[in-house]
């Protein structure tokens, strides 16, 4: 994904269709001058519907589609004819899209499966025709019900990347390099901070034709939950990952402290993230020997860990085994 083409936040004005009015009609033909009420119901207004589409990876196709209008229902007519329903508008979105009401902040719907549909803005119900109001004491009602009005709502759509494993680490921790080694993804790699500006997804092949999805999340720094660095924009993508792989370079001043800072940023953003399974990958291990590895192991967080080198391939197979085991626990 190029950074110019990745859009994970859009705001759209949606308007559903109004319900058609019911018909006030009295039956007339050559055989009956006063045949009684036969007004039909109005058709419902069109819905604005969100539909999951696995072929979309970003919301860029909605970036310039700022208004979505559904069709109005048609009015009922005589002979108990119901009006046609208004035309629904279906908006395709990538999997992992969350729609919220811009005014109240309420979550409207969440799309996580291909083909899954959810109504973002419901159309108005059609009005009842006068045939529905007949009774023993009112055999010729001369009134009908109007349809419900249109509903207008500004909807905020946020994309949270769906992945099995999310890579969490400071800038230049080796996340993009690892993803490029274990998958066919080609993220931008350079020797400066914040090379990764958008999440990158890769399919990691495992034994016996099995695979899992890995997401490279842009680097986190201390204070990210307060908006520093890339801030909150990409922290939300971590919410959809089943397993969090923390990545800390072996040449860090204090691996335990870096892990603590990263964990605290996740806690400040969303405490529920601490319930996810966590692993630690100590990267760039081709710089150190066995003796130094043993020394580093004396002060590591109490979670499963592995020393890896994306350049030499050392520890990559062990890392895949650990991830697969955790994913299938």
Binding residues: 169-176, 194-198, 216-219, 283-286, 309-311
Label the pairing between strands 67-69 and 152-159: unpaired
| Pairwise CA distance, residues 156 & 108, whole Å | 9
Output b/e per residue, 16-40; b: 16+ Cβ within 10 A. Answer: bbbbbbbbbbbbeeeeeeeeebbbb
Output b/e per residue, 284-305; b: 16+ Cβ within 10 A. Answer: bbbebeeeeeeebeeeebeeeb
Neighbours of 64 (CB within 10 A): 7
Binding site listing for Mg(2+): 176, 196
* 20: CB partners within 8 A, 6+ apart: 42, 43, 44, 45, 72, 73, 74, 75, 76, 83, 84, 86, 126, 127, 147
Label the pairing between strands 97-101 and 152-159: antiparallel
Q: Which long-range contacts (CB under 8 A, 24 or more apart) does 96-100 make?
A: 96/159, 96/160, 96/161, 96/162, 96/240, 97/50, 97/52, 97/59, 97/157, 97/158, 97/159, 97/160, 98/157, 98/158, 98/159, 98/160, 99/50, 99/155, 99/156, 99/157, 100/155, 100/156, 100/157, 100/158
Binding site listing for GTP: 169-176, 194-198, 216-219, 283-286, 309-311
User: Judging by beta carbons within 10 Å of its beta carbon (0-12, 13-18, 19+), is residue 272 exposed, middle or buried?
Assistant: exposed
């Amino acid at each position: 994904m190029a950074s110019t083409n990745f859009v994970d936040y859009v705001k759209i004005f949606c308007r559903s269709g109004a319900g058609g009015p019911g018909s006030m009609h009295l039956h007339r033909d050559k055989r009956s001058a006063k045949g009684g009420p036969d007004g039909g119901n109005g058709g419902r207004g069109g819905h604005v519907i969100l539909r999951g589409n696995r072929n979309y990876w970003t919301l860029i196709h909605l970036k310039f589609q700022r208004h979505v209008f559904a069709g109005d229902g048609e009015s009922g007519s005589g002979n108990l004819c119901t009006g046609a329903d208004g035309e629904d508008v279906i908006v395709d979105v990538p999997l992992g899209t969350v729609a919220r009401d811009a005014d109240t902040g309420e979550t409207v719907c969440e799309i996580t499966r291909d083909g899954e549909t959810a109504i973002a803005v419901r159309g108005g119900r059609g009005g009842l025709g006068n045939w529905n109001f007949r009774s023993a004491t009112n055999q010729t009602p001369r009134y009908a019900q109007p349809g419900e009005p249109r509903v207008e709502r500004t909807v905020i759509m946020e994309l949270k990347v769906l992945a099995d494993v999310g890579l969490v680490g400071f800038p230049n921790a080796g996340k993009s390099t690892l993803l490029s080694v274990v998958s066919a993804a080609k993220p931008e790699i350079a020797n400066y901070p914040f090379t990764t500006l958008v999440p990158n997804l890769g399919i990691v092949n495992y034994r016996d034709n099995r695979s899992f999805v890995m997401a490279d999340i842009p680097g986190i720094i201390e204070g990210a939950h307060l908006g520093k660095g890339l801030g909150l924009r990409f922290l939300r993508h971590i919410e959809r990952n089943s397993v969090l792989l923390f990545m800390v370079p072996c040449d860090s001043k204090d691996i335990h402290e870096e892990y603590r800072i990263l964990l605290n940023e996740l806690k400040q953003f969303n405490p529920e993230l601490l319930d996810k399974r966590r692993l630690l990958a100590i990267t760039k291990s081709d710089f150190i020997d066995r003796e130094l590895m043993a020394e580093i192991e004396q002060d590591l967080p109490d979670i499963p860990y592995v020393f890896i080198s994306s350049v030499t391939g050392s520890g990559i197979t062990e890392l895949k085994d650990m991830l697969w085991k955790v994913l299938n626990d």
